[in-house]
């Protein structure tokens, strides 16, 4: 309901064409193509160091790129018009350790121009009601990560880019957060969530399997298992790595 202002409904939330990112001599993304539909939860899976964070940073528009285009909600990634429509959670919680949970969220809400009750709403959504007055530095790692997530939920962004939001959380909390992600997607929000926990894959509408800066697969969890004949996502990943001539859908027409 909140993206009624968005363009034609077929317009993808994210469209990436031939994205190249280099860091020094190293090419992190050699030419990546991707489309992410609105209102979906897309999981970005792959081993540590495969370029997941770089891809997410490119979508948010904080990554210096060497080629290609990234279009987000119909605008070039990182453009000023997107700054209160895209929420971003980095891997390390980016909140002020010396401020309380409430002070952090009040500040970010003021920067975003979010409605007055928004900090309380997002504190409740991530289950930190009891810690509004606790300094963030005194919270556990998982709680800190949730403060960072709460900050990204302020102002109802249309796209949420989450870099490993469930790291270090116990299974109950992880389940609760995935339920939250699902309800946000049902309300029209698009979510792009990275993880290296393969068992989280089944909770996504679509999966991106990534390795060495390339997408090995872009498919639904069921489709992925069907294509590879593997019993679970972990095995599917291995199967794809071992048979490089077997791309699923729009994968390996990357630059070579």
Partner 1 sequence: MTTAAPLPAPSPAAAATRRTLATAGRVLAQLRHDPRTVAMLLLVPCLLLVLLKYMYDDQPATFNRIGPELLGIFPLVVMFLVTSVAMLRERTSGTLERLLTMPLGKLDLLLGYALAFGVVALLQAALASVLTIGVLGLDVAGPTWLLFAVAVADGLLGMALGLLVSAFAATEFQAVQFLPAVLLPQLLLCGLFVPRGAMAPVLHWISDVLPLSYAVDAMSRITAQSGAGGRVIADLAVVAGCALLALALGAATLRRRTA
**Interacting residue ranges for partner 1, rule: CB under 8 A:** 23, 60-64, 78, 80, 83-84, 86, 88, 90, 92-99, 103, 107-108, 110-113, 115-117, 135, 151
Q: Which is nearer to partner 1, 83 or 238 (CB)?
A: 83
Q: Which is nearer to partner 1, 74 or 135 (CB)?
A: 135
Q: Closest approach of Cβ 226 to partner 1, in Å?
A: 38
From residue 174, alpha-carbon distances to 64, 88, 127, 171, 247 in Å are 32, 18, 12, 5, 31
Q: Which is nearer to partner 1, 103 or 212 (CB)?
A: 103
Q: Closest approach of Cβ 113 to partner 1, in Å?
A: 6
Query: What distance in Å separates the CA atoms of residue 79 and residue 228, rounded to the nearest whole number?
Result: 39
β-bridge pairing 67-72 and 14-23 = antiparallel
Query: What distance in Å separates the CA atoms of residue 85 and residue 91, rounded to the nearest whole number?
Result: 20
Q: Which is nearer to partner 1, 36 or 95 (CB)?
A: 95
- For the four alpha carbons of 139, 123, 92 and 183, in that order, the dihedral sign comes to positive
The two structure tokens encoding residue 14: 């994210």
Query: What distance in Å separates the CA atoms of residue 158 and residue 187, rounded to the nearest whole number?
Result: 10
Q: Closest approach of Cβ 128 to partner 1, in Å?
A: 18
Q: Closest approach of Cβ 219 to partner 1, in Å?
A: 29
- Say if CB 75 and CB 81 are below 8 A apart: yes
Q: Which is nearer to partner 1, 156 or 174 (CB)?
A: 156
Query: What distance in Å separates the CA atoms of residue 146 and residue 166, rounded to the nearest whole number?
Result: 9
Residues 6+ apart with CB under 8 A from 141: 168
Q: Closest approach of Cβ 83 to partner 1, in Å?
A: 4
Q: Which SS3 state, helix, strand or coil, does residue 77 take? A: coil
Q: Closest approach of Cβ 6 to partner 1, in Å?
A: 17
- Say if CB 251 and CB 227 are below 8 A apart: no
Q: Which is nearer to partner 1, 59 or 225 (CB)?
A: 59
Q: Closest approach of Cβ 7 to partner 1, in Å?
A: 20
Q: Which is nearer to partner 1, 125 or 228 (CB)?
A: 125
């Amino acid at each position: 309901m909140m993206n009624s202002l968005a363009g034609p409904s077929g317009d993808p939330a994210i469209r990436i064409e031939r994205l190249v990112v280099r860091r020094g001599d190293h090419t992190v993304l050699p030419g990546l193509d991707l489309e992410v539909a609105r209102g979906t939860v897309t999981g970005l899976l792959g081993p540590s160091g495969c370029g997941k964070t770089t891809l997410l940073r490119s979508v948010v528009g904080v990554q210096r790129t060497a080629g290609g285009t990234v279009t987000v909600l119909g605008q070039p990634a990182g453009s000023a018009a997107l700054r209160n429509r895209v929420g971003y959670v980095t891997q390390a919680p980016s909140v002020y350790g010396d401020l309380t949970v409430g002070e952090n969220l009040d500040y970010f809400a003021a920067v975003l121009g979010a409605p007055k009750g928004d900090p309380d709403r997002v504190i409740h959504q991530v289950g930190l009601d009891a810690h509004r007055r606790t300094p963030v530095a005194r919270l556990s790692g998982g709680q800190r990560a949730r403060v960072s997530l709460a900050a990204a939920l302020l102002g109802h962004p249309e796209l949420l880019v989450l870099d490993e939001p469930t790291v270090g959380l116990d299974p109950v909390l992880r389940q609760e957060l995935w339920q939250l992600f699902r309800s946000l997607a049902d309300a029209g929000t698009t979510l792009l969530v990275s993880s290296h926990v393969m068992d989280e894959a089944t909770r996504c509408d679509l999966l991106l399997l990534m390795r060495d800066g390339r997408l090995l697969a872009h498919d639904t969890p069921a489709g992925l298992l069907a294509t590879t004949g593997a019993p679970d996502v972990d095995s599917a990943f291995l199967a794809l790595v071992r048979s490089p001539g077997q791309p699923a859908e729009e994968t390996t027409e990357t630059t070579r």
